Amino acid sequence: MNHIKLLFFATIRDRAGTKSMEMDISTDMTIHGLKEKLSADYPALKDSMKSVLITINREYAFDEAVVPANAEIGMFPPVSGG
């Protein structure tokens, strides 16, 4: 098992009801798998997982990335500029 820390920002923090949490995940879990797990375990986050921006140790990551042990995962809502 991998131990990770999740950090939630902006509207995702509001929906999670906390700014961070820690959890254990399987050693081969991808970002896609993590989003599915969070959607199932925390229904309030399900809609956010469709468009969330993810970082692993402060670098952007995509769905196919495998989550490393002791990772810090940031979750941000999509942003727009103008």
Question: 10-42 pLDDT, tens per residue?
Answer: 999 999 999 999 999 999 999 999 999 999 999
For residues 67 and 32, is the Cβ–Cβ distance under 8 A? no
**Distance in angstroms (rounded) separating the CA atoms of residues 38 and 46:** 7
The domains of the chain, with CATH numbers, are: 2-76 (3.10.20.30)
Please give the model's pTM, rounded to 2 decimal places.
0.93
Question: 55-64 pLDDT, tens per residue?
Answer: 999 999 999 9
HSE at residue 25, side-chain half, CA atoms within 13 A, is 27
Confidence class of residue 81 from pLDDT cuts 50, 70 and 90? low
User: In this structure, are strands 72-76 and 2-8 parallel, antiparallel, or unpaired?
Assistant: parallel
**Distance in angstroms (rounded) separating the CA atoms of residues 72 and 79:** 21
